[in-house]
Amino acid sequence: MTTQALPSALAAIVDDFQALSEPERLQLLLEFSEGLPELPDRLKDHPELLEQVVECQSPLFLTVETDTNDDGAVRLFFKAPPEAPTTRGFAGVLHEGLDGLTAVEILSVPDDMPELLGLTRAITPLRMRGMTAMLGRIKRKVAASSNQG
Amino acid sequence: MPYPVDENEKFAAYAHPERLVSTEWLAAAVESGAVARGELVVVESDEDVLLYETGHIPGAVKIDWHTDLNDEVSRDYIDGAAFAELAASKGISRDSTVVIYGDKSNWWAAYALWVFTLFGHQDVRLLDGGRDKWVAEGRGLTRDRLAPTPGSYPVVERDDAPIRAFKDDVLAHLGTGPLIDVRSPEEYTGQRTHMPAYPEEGALRGGHIPTAASIPWARAAAEDGTFRSREELEAIYLGEAGLAEGDDVVAYCRIGERSSHTWFALKFLLGFENVRNYDGSWTEWGNAVRVPIIKGAERGSVPAAVGA
């Protein structure tokens, strides 16, 4: 696999992870979990607008919105409890790597991108499955909303 | 040297009160410097592999159930040499008092305690109520990670037989002793093969092992994550499940983690001498060829072909 095909923000994150030792990668994932933005108030008050990704070990909810102006930027929103830092960390990586891209750019991300982070051994394949599922759900939702438009 | 036990009224009613400590007791031990001096070793063991890093009880070390305790290749636990190395690196010696706590009502903490017991570690206790109770009471957490002074741990081979059941043991057990299925009711009936809101870990068949009583693991815990009183536990396991004193009991779940919690309650709180955890659990049984399975809410009976 190569990071060349990835959108630049996501490629930069993958490079950051790959440059680190395994324990340092966990630390970086923790930083991503802390950097995950809060939901805007309009979504905070309407949990029914978010969908749960049941493949994650801890409760994770997400939704996507597409800007109505011409640039077609897709906005990603995540909600996960602070006592689920691994799940939050995955969400943080996907938020920083994909938020604001177009539907085409997001859909071009390979489904196995999470494996590029080099966390599988430290996190275990079981836990990595949650992140793969999160990316899959984002892509399905983006595909569905861009078909409508 | 074993560290003094927590003498309190609730624990005194249990068969082995020395296996539990309260948050007050642990806070006092931390405060007194006993943890910092290594007189007892506090271990955090969580489902979430990063939770310890967000803050832990001062002086606690981390042991991850998956990356530290499971063999990386074979579906088995680490061997005696690897356990000795792990324990020593966490500041644990063979005679250390170890207190384990974790998230989700000590679900993974109980699993770690069970693995310590496979290696015959004598003095290993659970923090009643686990991490959540400690946090709910506003007790301090820290991100400081002090490198523990290495312990001295001999290579002790695992002794699986007394507390671990394999598939063939369970087949032989059918019709001779009780089984407790600690999964959710939906998993027990076969409506689903994984926990609600959890990843599908792959079982080809749904249902339960014939004759198993359904007692979801969390029923052993109160709302604050502490274990229920002896009286309440007896009503559940002796009353509802129908266990009798002296029974040889096998508990199982999906991969053996939730059933470690029930194993702890049966063995140390109710005093059953012979309790085994079937860690192959449903991810083995639900995929095995030609093992008997019961679907639906009834416990069912052992088919003649298995007993013959």
B60 close to B90: Cβ distance less than 8 angstroms:
no
pLDDT tens-digit readout, A57-88: 677 899 999 887 778 899 999 999 888 999 99
Backbone dihedral region for residue B59 (phi beyond 0: left; psi -120 to 50: alpha; all else: beta): left
A50 close to A63: Cβ distance less than 8 angstroms:
yes
Sheet with strand B61-62: strands edge to edge: B20-21, B124-127, B97-101, B40-44, B61-62
Nearest chain A alpha carbon to B56: A83
A130 close to A91: Cβ distance less than 8 angstroms:
no
Tokens of B116: 């310590």
A33, A83, A90, A131, best to mutate vs chain B, most B CBs in 10 Å: A83
Catalytic residue among B26, B43, B170, B253: B253
Q: Which residues of B touch A121 (CB under 8 A)?
A: 67
Q: What are phi and psi of A40, to 5 degrees?
A: -65, 155
- The number of helices, as runs of H, and strands, as runs of E, in chain A is 7, 3
Using the Cβ of A83 and the Cβ atoms of chain B, whether some distance falls under 8 Å is answered with: yes
The number of distinct structural domains making up chain A is 1
Please report how the helices A85-98 and A8-18 are oriented relative to each other, as an axis angle in degrees rounded to 10: 140
Minimal C-alpha gap between A118 and chain B (Å)? 15
Q: Provide the residue range defining the domain that includes A30.
A: 3-148
Q: What is the pLDDT of residue A50?
A: 87
Of A29, A54, A85, nearest to B51 by CB-CB distance is: A85
- ipTM over 0.90? The verdict is no
Cα B8 to chain center, whole Å? 22
Q: Which residues of B touch A54 (CB under 8 A)?
A: 197-199
pLDDT tens-digit readout, A109-142: 999 999 999 998 888 877 788 888 899 999 999 9
Nearest to B20 by CA among B241, B201, B225, B193: B225
Task: Round to whole Å and give the CA distance between B67 and B214.
Answer: 30
Q: What is the pLDDT of residue B306?
A: 62
Task: Round to whole Å and give the CA distance between B177 and B105.
Answer: 28
Tens of each residue's pLDDT in chain B, 308 residues? 689 999 999 999 999 999 999 999 999 999 999 999 999 999 999 988 999 999 999 999 999 988 899 998 999 999 999 999 999 999 999 999 999 999 989 999 999 999 999 999 999 999 999 999 999 999 999 999 888 999 999 999 999 999 999 999 999 999 999 999 999 999 999 987 765 555 555 788 999 999 999 999 999 999 999 999 999 999 999 999 999 999 999 999 988 989 999 999 999 999 999 999 999 999 999 999 999 999 999 999 998 866 44
Q: Is A144 helix (H, G, I), strand (E, B) or coil?
A: helix
Residue B77 per-residue DSSP state: B
Task: Round to whole Å and give the CA distance between A86 and A129.
Answer: 12
Q: What is the pLDDT of residue A59?
A: 79
Q: Are strands B20-21 and B40-44 parallel, antiparallel or unpaired?
A: unpaired
Mark whether B15 is an active-site residue: no
Minimal C-alpha gap between B308 and chain A (Å)? 39
> CB A124 to CB B201 under 8 A?
no
pLDDT tens-digit readout, A10-64: 999 999 999 999 889 999 999 999 999 999 988 888 888 888 876 666 778 999 9
CATH code of A143's domain:
3.90.1010.10
Of A27, A29, A129, nearest to B199 by CB-CB distance is: A129
Amino acid (1-letter code) at residue A134? M
> CB B54 to CB A85 under 8 A?
yes
Query: A residues 93-132 near B, CB within 8 Å?
Result: 121-124, 126-127, 129-130
